[in-house]
Amino acid sequence: MSYVSHSFSGRSLLKGQRGFTLIELMIVLVIIGIVSAIAYPSYTRYVQKTMRTDAHAGLMQAASELERCYTRTYSYSDCPISNASPEHNYTIAVNVSGNGYLLTASSHQNDGCDDNMTLNSSGERLPDACW
């Protein structure tokens, strides 16, 4: 018994189809596009939240340094603080006025906050959405 292989437009019917069709490749690209459109905003929010955590750590560290200095000198003036957050994403600035201080964390990177994050000697943290 012999098998006869018929050929249709250059392909053998016994061997079957090899490779992918253009339609299959387009469907895969559409699926990848949909998945990435859903995943990218979540990833961006995660990165922004991580950056804000760096600012929180920097502000709390600077406040701790100011409070330690105050217990020695009874003044916030001339107290040295770290001028950068632990991961160096933010610059920490201090403004001493009267018997208190205002710490400000600022960054040139997009952290999802419209304003700089602040922490004062009373413990107020602004803006609320960023804490």
pLDDT higher than 80, residue 5: no
Which pLDDT score, from 0 to 100, does residue 15 have? Answer: 63
Asked if 115 contacts 131 with a C-beta cutoff of 8 angstroms, the reply is no
- Three-state secondary structure along the chain? CCCCCCEECCEECCCCCCCCCHHHHHHHHHHHHHHHHHHHHHHHHHHHHHHHHHHHHHHHHHHHHHHHHHHHHCCCCCCCCCCECCCCCCEEEEEEECCEEEEEEECCCCCCCCCCEEEECCCCEECHHHC
Confidence category of residue 19, pLDDT binned at 50, 70, 90: confident
Which pLDDT score, from 0 to 100, does residue 1 have? Answer: 55
Which pLDDT score, from 0 to 100, does residue 20 have? Answer: 83
Q: What would the mean pLDDT of 68-94 be, rounded to a whole number?
A: 94
Q: Which amino acid belongs to residue 105?
A: A
**pLDDT cut 90: percent of the chain above it:** 81
Which pLDDT score, from 0 to 100, does residue 69 have? Answer: 95
Q: What would the mean pLDDT of 89-118 be, rounded to a whole number?
A: 94
Note the pLDDT tens digit of each residue in 36-48: 999 999 999 999 9
